[in-house]
Structure 1
Amino acid sequence: MQNTNSPIPENELQRLISLSHFDLDYSDREDHYKDLTLLAAKVAGTEISLVNIIDSFTQWSISSHGIDIEQMPREESVCQYTIMSDQPFEVPDFTLDERFSSKYYVQGPAGLRYYYGLPLQISGGVNIGALCVLDTQVRTLTPEKVELLAIIAESVVKRLKSYHTIELIKSKLKEANEAKKKVAHDIRGPLAGIIGLSELMAEQGFTNDPQELMEFIGMINKAGRSLLDLADEILSGDNKHQLSEHEFNLALFKDKLEKLYLPQARHKNVTLEVLLDSVNAGIPFAKNKLLQITGNLISNAIKFTPAGGKVQVSLSLEISGEEKLLKILVTDTGVGIDAAAIEKVIAGKNESTSGTMGEKGYGFGLSLVSHLVESLNGKISVKSRPGEGATFDVVLPQGGR
């Protein structure tokens, strides 16, 4: 039986995995949906409209009208109820609903009263968030308005999928074009040298003295070795480019994590520190799923760390020959977990429990981490004892560029 105070969809892990496929970067939100949130508010006649995405721990507002908000804890949100089914969710009056009547957005300056939300469904039964409209006055939506809002919600999903497809295509095209340009540029010099020397030898024939001939052959050999080195570099992927939009280096990764998760830590009065190893700090690596993996570990650490505690994230990139390993270490001073719970985390079967301030539990976040790490051929290990905090150690192999 579902706990009505902490609604969790029956397909929660599948939902989170589907959301992770979009690999959204919530710290770099280009507002592709501003026109749709504006339209939703106009249609409903409400002051506020939002497009919210809900992950394991957090509700992220990727577009807003009438209010300035970027994130809130999932357990505080109304949209956590909207994603429970494929039907709209309406709260006629927050002040009369015990689930919301004491919330800060009802009792505080915002003074919200009305909510109507539609799930953002990307496939059968998989809801990754909601389009919602809110107001400080009680509202009644006509059937025509409800129908139009449903069309807008479908448009949000279609646009989300379209942008994701476009980003994948852009990434592949950029990689192909960059590789082509590099090969063409780097191969031109050695080839020109070989051709020039060959033509000179052909023109002069064998009139050259043996010593001069050997010098020509040596220069051709040097140019040929240069081409061979280039071929090895391309095959091993060990070449340096500017960061693309699908890449991180350690410095950028650190900045992203601080921007996304410092607000959560401050909200709970927990210190969050992100450290990086300066060695190889500028070398690029694919950002694929890194924010999902590390973000869930940080949110989980904050959740189980009491006020006044500390969460530390250490990032490093180790390179040995052709092997490149990204290492992510998340350590907290929280309540810790026992050996049985550690086994469940590694097996991707972690259960939901409550945090140190009564936060609702979403243990599926760690199950998602385990799934994503495994899908990237990485490894995760956990060290902890009850009352002594926890350390999550993730190692991810990174392909060459």
Structure 2
Amino acid sequence: MQSAPPHDKEAQRLKELLRLEVLDTEDDLILDELTELASHICGTPISLISLIDFDRQWFKSRVGLAAHETPRELAFCAHAILQDDVFEVPNALEDKRFFDNPLVTDDPDIRFYAGAPLVTRNGLPIGTLCVIDKQPRHLNTGQKRALEILAHQVIGQLELRLNYKKLQRVDKEREKIFSVIGHDLRSPFTSVLGFAKRLSQKSHELSPEKTQDLANGVWSSALQVYQVLEELMQWTQQRIGRTHSDPKVRLISPMIDESIRFLNDGFLLKKITCVNQIQSDVSLLVDSAIFKTIIRNILANAIKYSPIQGKIEITFEAQENVGVVIIEDQGQGVPTHLLGQLFNDSVTSTPDTSGEIGTGIGLSLCAELVATQNGKIWVDPDYTQGARIKIQFPMQ
């Protein structure tokens, strides 16, 4: 048996396959009908839409075959994606590449195979539309052409489905933005207006202490508005592809100090102590702008849920080829049922120490940005004195 060599653009080909978001998805009626039509036109009992993954061929649609996938080294289709035209094997028993293939010597007893490459708009083959028979045979010119046309239709359907998914995500993100504007921005804006109105109308009769309280209220609400706007801008830029990553080996302690200074008003307002204990010579492979955005968002969240006069501590753990930045606070902690999904887009944040509820954009943004750095982010489930967030980045 001769397994097919990798495609000469294998990395790009696999990336293109992942782009279509089709692997391991549910059956699709339209694609099943195209597969059935291929089997009918070519007069074969078996027809498949086969996608060639890293180590397997996975069947998006199948007629006459129960299996959902087979190892890539056995796949006829792995040979077919190396061809520009329909790849045909008239009799597998007489072909030195396939005569001892388990798919030939055992079920499904392949004798005849013909596969038309599924070539995407970027010119890369992700799999085939293939027909199989247990008897040796040939396709005529018309059948080959029909198989090619149906393969084009399969690609068209995959692209349509991807675009539909994107539209659904856009609608979801639009709803998220309106939710932020409607709640996270309206609420603190209302507070700013209320505090400012009282200061304007009653400043002549207020005690210095009461005036200070109202001024702190304006400051706190305005700071909340600014932080939400900052999150919203970062989140939107990431969604529309304007956040580009340029990872280099960089010292991280100065970037963390800069992020702490950026949030200084928030620390002062709640009298929170923030301590950066990371040594000055520690470096990670990160994009500086993205790294600081991640740290700012995690720190802002820690401020939000920390008590008055609380403490936030930033430390570091070096592991094999990776480093872990650890940010822990003394706040409310993370509910047990949210530990595994805190950074998901669907999670709504819990009330902070002032009773306000946000939409959680900052945390889902962090997860996306960490992923652009080939990193991981999670909550330490063993820490019970507040919340401990761990963020892993490559060191080289």
Specify if TM > 0.5: yes
Letter in 1 for 2:2: N
Question: Does 2:144 correspond to 1:132?
Answer: no
Residue 132 of structure 1 aligns to a residue in which SS?
strand
Q: Deviations over 1:211-241 (max 9, x none)?
A: 544443343333223324434554547489x
Aligned-pair distance for 1:19? Answer: 2.4
Equivalent residue for 1:7, pick from 4, 9, 30: 4
Q: 2:220 — aligned with what?
A: 222
Single out whichever of 212-221 and 124-133 deviates more from structure 2: 212-221
Question: Does 2:148 correspond to 1:150?
Answer: yes
Q: 8 Å contact 2:86–2:144 — kept in the other structure?
A: no
Q: 1:367 — aligned with what?
A: none
Q: 8 Å contact 1:120–1:156 — kept in the other structure?
A: yes
Q: Percent identity?
A: 23
The count of corresponding residues between Structure 1 and Structure 2 is: 266
Letter in 1 for 2:228: L
Alignment of 1:2-401 (within 5 A): 5-8=2-5, 11-13=8-10, 15-16=12-13, 19-20=16-17, 22=19, 24=21, 26-31=23-28, 33-122=31-120, 126-204=124-202, 206-234=204-232, 235=234, 236=293, 238=297, 282-284=342-344, 285-286=367-368, 317=377, 325=391
CA distance in 2, matches of 1:61, 1:325: 37
CA distance in 2, matches of 1:68, 1:288: 40
CA distance in 2, matches of 1:158, 1:326: 39
CA distance in 2, matches of 1:152, 1:225: 58
Q: 8 Å contact 2:4–2:79 — kept in the other structure?
A: yes
Aligned-pair distance for 1:158? Answer: 1.9
CA distance in 2, matches of 1:208, 1:283: 44
Residue 19 of structure 2 aligns to a residue in which SS?
coil
Aligned-pair distance for 1:51? Answer: 0.9
Aligned-pair distance for 1:77? Answer: 0.8
Question: Structure 2: which 5+ residue stretches go unaligned?
Answer: 235-292, 301-337, 345-366, 381-388
CA distance in 2, matches of 1:128, 1:288: 29
CA distance in 2, matches of 1:289, 1:225: 28
CA distance in 2, matches of 1:283, 1:189: 24
CA distance in 2, matches of 1:45, 1:98: 25
Letter in 2 for 1:62: K
TM-aligned CA distance change 1:288 to 1:17, over 3 Å? farther
CA distance in 2, matches of 1:288, 1:156: 35
CA distance in 2, matches of 1:289, 1:229: 22
Q: 2:268 — aligned with what?
A: none
Question: Structure 1: which 5+ residue stretches go unaligned?
Answer: 241-277, 295-314, 328-377, 382-401
Q: Deviations over 1:269-307 (max 9, x none)?
A: xxxxxxxxx9876424349999xxx9xxxxxxxxxxxxx
Residue 68 of structure 1 aligns to a residue in which SS?
coil
Aligned-pair distance for 1:18? Answer: 5.1
Aligned-pair distance for 1:117? Answer: 0.9
CA distance in 2, matches of 1:166, 1:34: 19
CA distance in 2, matches of 1:7, 1:153: 21
CA distance in 2, matches of 1:288, 1:161: 28
TM-aligned CA distance change 1:56 to 1:225, over 3 Å? closer
- RMSD of the alignment, in Å? 4.0
CA distance in 2, matches of 1:108, 1:83: 24
CA distance in 2, matches of 1:67, 1:73: 15
CA distance in 1, matches of 2:100, 2:199: 90
Structure with max Cα Rg: 2
Using structure 1 for the length normalisation, give the TM-score.
0.55
Letter in 2 for 1:50: L
Using structure 2 for the length normalisation, give the TM-score.
0.55
Q: 8 Å contact 1:15–1:127 — kept in the other structure?
A: no
Residue 206 of structure 1 aligns to a residue in which SS?
helix
TM-aligned CA distance change 1:30 to 1:281, over 3 Å? same
